[in-house]
């Protein structure tokens, strides 16, 4: 990934926060058939290993778990809010017209080694954990015990777990850090007016000047 210094984010807390807020990752693998991508909701455990561990599950019918080799290097891409930026949003454009369109976004690339966990115990624990996290905001959170036991057991048997030991995290938050403060605020105002509040908030939380 092309990574200019002023867009690079290295603070673990910021990278971890993005992964937790946007847990649907694109898992990129390579096997004899070529490149493949699977989009999976991940559980992130920052406390295990040097850089953390990612856990997810795939359908047993998904060939991924049979294609990958134990310890194979993989890449998982997590993407936060993103959006188009018009030159017209920069106040300075009205002065010198030296602005062009761009796109703002924040991503984290998690590099790691994959391991298949065809283990009902592992899968059951993972599903319980994912459910607890993503049901927490519901007025009446659903839990696995709400469904018939034999139905849940059938669902558990229908999926296979995967675990990725993270070997490195790379963050790129392209949020107009290379622009003057007035132009950044112009973009924030335009995004808020268009209802893109998540991206506007991310810009407000990022450094206001290049690092």
For residue 29, tell me if it sits in a domain: yes
Q: In Å, how far are 6, 43, 54, 90 from 40, measured between CA atoms?
A: 30, 10, 11, 37
Angle between helices 149-157 and 120-135 (to 10 degrees): 110
Which residue segment(s) compose the domain that 34 sits in?
A: 5-205
Q: What is the pLDDT of residue 207?
A: 57
For residue 210, tell me if it sits in a domain: no
Average pLDDT in the chain = 94
**First and final C-alpha spacing in the chain:** 19
Query: How many domains are there within the chain?
Result: 1
Q: In Å, how far are 9, 82, 87, 161 from 4, measured between CA atoms?
A: 10, 18, 21, 36
Query: What averages of pLDDT result for each successive group of 10 residues across the chain (211 residues)?
Result: 95 96 97 92 94 98 95 98 96 81 97 97 96 96 95 96 98 94 95 96 72 35
Q: What is the pLDDT of residue 33?
A: 82
What's this model's pTM, rounded to 2 decimal places? 0.92
For residue 178, tell me if it sits in a domain: yes
For residue 19, tell me if it sits in a domain: yes
Token digits of residue 158? 């229908």
What is the Cα–Cα distance from 36 to 74, expressed in whole angstroms? 10
Taking CA 199 as the corner, what is the angle to CA 197 and CA 202, rounded to the nearest 5 degrees?
110
Q: What is the pLDDT of residue 210?
A: 38
20 close to 130: Cβ distance less than 8 angstroms: no
Q: pLDDT tens for residues 150-171?
A: 999 999 999 999 999 999 999 9
Indicate which CATH number applies to the domain containing 150. Answer: 2.30.110.10
For residue 211, tell me if it sits in a domain: no
Beta-carbon neighbour count of residue 40 at 10 Å?
18
Q: What is the pLDDT of residue 93?
A: 67
């Amino acid at each position: 990934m092309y990574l200019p210094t002023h867009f690079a984010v290295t603070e673990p807390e910021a990278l971890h926060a993005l992964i937790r807020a946007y847990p649907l990752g694109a898992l990129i693998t390579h096997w004899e058939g070529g490149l493949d991508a699977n989009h999976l909701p991940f559980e992130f455990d920052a406390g295990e290993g040097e850089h953390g561990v990612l856990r997810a599950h795939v359908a047993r019918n998904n060939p991924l778990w049979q294609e990958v080799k134990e310890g194979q290097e993989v890449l998982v891409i997590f993407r936060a809010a993103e959006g188009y930026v018009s030159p017209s949003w920069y106040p300075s454009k009205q002065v010198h017209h030296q602005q062009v369109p761009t796109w703002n976004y924040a991503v984290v690339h998690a590099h790691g080694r994959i391991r298949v966990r065809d283990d009902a115990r592992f899968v059951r624990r993972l599903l319980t954990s994912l459910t607890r996290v993503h049901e927490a905001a519901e007025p009446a959170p659903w839990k696995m015990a709400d469904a018939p036991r034999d139905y849940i057991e059938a669902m558990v048997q229908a999926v296979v777990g995967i675990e990725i030991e993270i070997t490195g995290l790379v963050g790129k938050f392209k949020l107009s850090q290379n622009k003057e403060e007035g132009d950044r605020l112009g973009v924030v105002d335009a995004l808020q007016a268009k209802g893109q509040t998540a991206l506007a908030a991310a810009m407000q939380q990022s450094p206001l000047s290049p690092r």
